Structure 1
Amino acid sequence: MRWLASVLCILLAGGVSGSLLTGQMEKTDVQIGRKLTREDLQKEAAKHFKRPVDAVVSKAGKPNVIPELNGIELDIETTWARFMEHGEEVPVRYVYKQIEPKVKMTDYPNLPVYQGNPEKNQMALMINVAWGTEHLDGILQVLKANKVKATFFLDGSWLAKNQEVAKRIVAEGHEIGNHAYSHPNMAALSPDQQKQQIVKTQELIRTELAVDSKWFAPPSGSYNEMTVRLAREQGMGTVLWTLDTVDWHKPPKESIINRILPKARNGAMVLMHPTEPTLDALRIMIPELKKKQFKLVTVSELLSPIREVE
């Protein structure tokens, strides 16, 4: 699947209510022959159709929002035009349209996110970095060997001392998130103190790494409504985790593996830190998660409404 140049798509009569995104996506499915009719293509479209899924508020634990997921519709007009242009001897790509849901994650700006949409067979590794560098090299090597991109949430005071390591993380294609400046208990701070923690790290990330972080991960999961609002003012959503490795206790790698693999599920965000048992566990967990058909992606990709064509 590859992305086409953005074009404005028009919803066909009889489609689902909701707006269409600007843009198309395509995938080679079958070679279409001259005997195919428009009616045949319309029947085929019904097999490929997926309804959009609205964002919803979950009340499991603290209130949080589960992101929306776009619908998918076969673009009959564009696909038919390609068929007519290329003829039966040339494989013709089906062209799809993404359909936006009515309710989106951005409709709940004061709620954090604990997971991606459960219809996406994706998971995200959230690596919070607030101390040390000794195991980061190994973790980066494991991620690279397995062609996995993760999201590293950087503590500002750590970044100030380890800029070259952070630049390597960026250079290797991983996402950077904000993890406050001095690993505080955010919920216990005044609004001004919270803002300072968030802004100081955000500015450091921009200055040193030329990156605008999209996500804030509060240290130790401590936050209140003000935390979420302040992060939003800086252009970030607030994210927590679905599954916790509890690796900061430095348990045996088997403990980490057993905490994650049996509970792995669509949309899960996995919290971890750069420890030795985490490194050892990742060598086993990543291949096993892939065997279970999970795609390991960044937090931004997981929480994106874009639906992949199967």
Structure 2
Amino acid sequence: MKLFSLTVSTILAAAVCTSVPLKEPAYAFQTAEALTYNQLKEIATQKKLLPVNAKISRAGKANVIPELNGLEIDVEETWNRLQQNSGYPIPYAYKQIPPQITIKDLPLLPIYQGNSAKKEMALMINVAWGTEYIPAILEELKRHAAKATFFLDGSWLLKNPDVARQIVTAGHEIGNHAFSHPDMARLSAARQLEQIEKTQTAIKNTLAVSSKWFAPPSGSYNDETVRLAKQSGMTTVLWTLDTVDWRRPPSQQIINRIVPKAVNGAMVLMHPTAPTAEALKTMIPALQQKGFRLVTVSDLLSPVRQPE
């Protein structure tokens, strides 16, 4: 693992860069055929989005917020495309611009939130009991073309492999939620590693996928938890917003806890309960109407920036 050698002053000096809105200049050409090379270069300058550095957040427990690449038009490739197809819209090609500071440059800490420059959120569905409401949740996600990450308890997975396969078949991501829903912070290092690796093995053997993310049960963890998860190939993630749906509140209460507080990069904790399934009918379209894309944890935390 790369040693943390950057000083606080270095990190502050490489502060988060602001982005330039993506707007077309008001040129008079009606098709891309009328566009000149110099005009394309000017469009590229206006459309350029600067990279955003990873940083340490002190909100609550210390955590890291991941980096986000910048994005710029590849002028040469776009110009080559224009020679092949001069129609409108312009067939832009893009290049990612890496930031100066990435998560690998920072201390090993969990992630509570994605980069705020992304108009995206991730639903984190922790599954340690029951199967009754999972089909309804999958149906709502499908109805609204939303994706989620399901964090599976290993013992639940071994008892319900067919339901878990339905989640994967529906195109959702799988995360690791330990094996028997323990309080990880109270376990020895050996017991913590056993909890993590037993579920990791169950996921691979049952679903033929690998988990990149570890969500400690009840949000209980210590530095050893984070280190052992990384040793097992995973990053520890927690949540930005909590539905508190394990208490089975009215569905409207779940909606009220999330929609008004929705922010870029938020990760939303939920469970497969009846009020959750009902709340998603309203919550997903409400978030989408605010402009949020609901994506997997991997997509949310990826440094790759998509054209807007």
- Matched with 1:299 is 297
The Cα shift of 1:254 comes to 1.3
Mapped to 1, the partners of 2:63 and 2:190 lie a distance apart of 24
Q: Match of 2:267, as an amino acid? A: M
Q: Offset at 1:82?
A: 2.3
Counterpart residue number, 1:6: none
Displacement of 1:95: 0.9
CA distance in 2, matches of 1:191, 1:138: 38
Q: Could you tell me how far 1:109 is from its partner in structure 2?
A: 5.7
Percent identical residues? 60
Matched residues in 1 for 2:211 and 2:266: separation? 20
Inter-CA distance 226–293: structure 2 relative to 1 (3 Å threshold): same
Alpha-carbon shift at residue 102 of structure 1 (Å)? 1.5
Q: Which residue of 2 aligns with 1:265?
A: 263
Flag the 1:89–1:164 CA change in 2: closer, same or farther, 3 A: closer
1:76 is matched by which residue type in structure 2? V
- The residue aligned with 2:193 is 195
In structure 1, the residue matched to 2:54 is 55
SS at match of 1:73: strand
Q: What is residue 107 of structure 1 aligned with on the other side?
A: 105
Matching residue's letter, 1:172: A
Aligned with 1:226 (options 217, 224, 229)? 224
* Mapped partners of 1:50, 1:174: distance in 2: 29
- Residue equivalent to 1:172: 170
In the TM superposition, what whole-angstrom CA distance separates every residue of 1:204-243 from its partner, at most 9, and x where no partner exists? 0000000100100000000111101111111111000000
Q: Is contact 2:55-2:106 (8 Å) kept?
A: no
Q: Counterpart amino acid of 1:96? A: Y
* Aligned pairs (5 A) from 1:16-165: 31-33=31-33, 35-83=34-82, 85-86=83-84, 88=86, 92-108=90-106, 110-165=108-163
Q: Deviations over 1:100-122 (max 9, x none)?
A: 11111233362000011001000
How far the C-alpha of 1:91 sits from its partner, in A, is 5.4
1:1-50 Cα distance to aligned partner (Å, 9 max, x none):
xxxxxxxxxxxxxxxx9xxxxxxxxxx998412x4322211111111101
Question: After alignment, is 39-48 or 218-227 more displaced?
Answer: 39-48
> Could you tell me how far apart the structure 1 residues matched to 2:102 and 2:136 are?
38
Aligned to 2:6: none
| TM-score in terms of structure 2 length | 0.88
Please tell me whether the aligned partners of residues 245 and 259 of structure 1 are also in contact (alpha carbons under 8 angstroms): yes
1:152-185 C-alpha deviation (Å, 9 max, x unpaired): 0000010110011001110110000000000000
1:204 correspondence with 2:195: no
Q: 5+ residue gaps in structure 1?
A: 1-16, 18-27
Q: Which range moves more in the overlay, 73-82 or 58-67?
A: 73-82
Q: Amino acid of the residue matched to residue 273 of structure 2? A: T
Change (3 A) 1:89 1:139: closer
RMSD of aligned C-alpha atoms? 1.7
Distance 2:127 2:155 in 1: 10
Inter-partner Cα distance in structure 2 for 1:67 and 1:290? 23
Q: What residue number does 2:213 align with? A: 215
- Aligned partner of residue 94 in structure 1, secondary structure: coil
Do 1:127 and 1:273's aligned partners in 2 also have CA atoms closer than 8 Å? Answer: yes
Which amino acid in the other structure matches residue 271 of structure 2? H
Q: Deviations over 1:250-309 (max 9, x none)?
A: 111111111001101110000000011111111110011111111000000000011111
What amino acid maps onto 1:264 in structure 2? A
What is the letter of the counterpart of residue 43 of structure 1? E
CA contact (8 A) 1:69 1:304 kept: yes
Q: Which amino acid aligns with 2:77?
A: T
Match of 1:25 in 2: none
Shift of 1:189: 0.6
Q: Measured at CA, do residues 92 and 258 of structure 1 come closer, stay the same or move farther in structure 2, by a change above 3 Å?
A: closer
d(CA) in 2 for partners of 1:154 and 1:89?
48
SS in 2 for 1:201: helix
- For the structure 1 residues 303 and 90, does the alpha-carbon distance in structure 2 shift closer, same or farther, using more than 3 Å as the test? closer
Between 99-108 and 237-246, the greater mean CA deviation after superposition: 99-108
Which position in structure 1 is the counterpart of 2:182? 184
1:281 paired residue number: 279
CA contact (8 A) 1:109 1:232 kept: no
1:86, CA displacement in angstroms?
2.5
- Measured in 2, the distance between the counterparts of 1:87 and 1:171 equals 37
SS in 1 for 2:265: coil
